[in-house]
Structure 1
Amino acid sequence: MLKKIYKIVIVPYTLFLLYLMFLGMGRFQYEENLLTLEPVFSTIKFIQGPNKMKDIVMIVLGNIIMFIPFGFLGWIFPDLKKLKPLIFSFISCIVIVEALQYFTRMGIFEVDDIILNTFGVYLGWEFCRIIEKRFNY
């Protein structure tokens, strides 16, 4: 039953997430193409900056939590049940999305986003394994 619900919900969820990444949350088109290639340090600087704790939690944890559902993609695509193909496929897709944000100037290409999003997928994959073992999926 859970797998059927997942198969129905993941497509609209993905479209919603793409909306958030390009148009939602007060997004606007930057005047120039921006990229942040400094892994981890840019997130640390962001956390240490003058930002409100609510914003830090929403952005940093949001970049992880919002991608947890993609760790369950093996329920739709059996080849993605294994971690390595799942992570490789996801990184390929998220790099394309980040590049589209860069080229459309509707966001910033950020290496930290790729890292945090991928960590979310990994957590989802772990949760999927736990659910499958517990409920004999």
Structure 2
Amino acid sequence: MLKKFYKIIIAPYTLFLLYLMFFGMGRYQYEDNQITVEPVFSTLEFIHNAVELKYIVTIVLGNIVMFVPFGFLGWAFPRFRDLRTLLYAFISSIVIIEALQYFTRMGIFEVDDIILNTFGVYLGWLLCRLIEKRFSRLVL
């Protein structure tokens, strides 16, 4: 039952997430191409300089939580049950999306986004395995 629901919802969810990544949350086109390549340090600097906790939660945790559903891709595409295959495909995809943000200037190419998004996928993959073990009757 959960797998059927997931297969129906993952495509619209992906489109919604792409919308957010390029147009949502007050995005605008930058005058110059923007890139942040210092892993972890830029996120730590953002956390340190954030005015309100809600910005930290929205940006940092959002970059993780919003990608958790992609850890379940094995339900729709069985070859993605393998973590290595899933992560290779996801990292390739997210690098392309970050590059598109850079080239269209509708966002910033950020290495930390790639790391946080990938961590979200990994957490989703772990959660998927846990759900399959504990609630196998509901998953089918």
Does TM, normalized by the shorter one, top 0.5?
A: yes
How far the C-alpha of 1:52 sits from its partner, in A, is 1.1
Q: Cα deviations across residues 71-127 of structure 1 (Å, max 9, x unaligned)?
A: 000011111101111011000000000000000000000000000000000000000
CA distance in 2, matches of 1:106, 1:52: 24
Q: Answer yes or no: is the 8 Å Cα contact 2:50–2:56 preserved in 1.
A: no
Superposed counterparts of 1:72-87, under 5 Å: 72-87=72-87
TM-score normalised by L of structure 2: 0.96
1:97 aligns with 2:97: yes
Aligned to 2:109, the other structure's residue is in SS state strand
Report percent identity of matched pairs.
72
Structure 2's unaligned 5+ residue stretches are: none
Mapped to 1, the partners of 2:83 and 2:102 lie a distance apart of 28
Q: Give 2:4's aligned residue.
A: 4
Amino acid of the structure 1 residue aligned with 2:2: L
Per the alignment, residue 108 of structure 1 pairs with 108
Q: Which residue number corresponds to residue 15 of structure 1?
A: 15
Q: Aligned pairs, how many?
A: 137
Equivalent AA in structure 1 for residue 132 of structure 2? E
Runs of 4+ in 1 over 3 A off after TM superposition: none
Could you say which residue in structure 2 is the equivalent of 1:134? 134
The TM-score normalised by the length of structure 1 is: 0.98
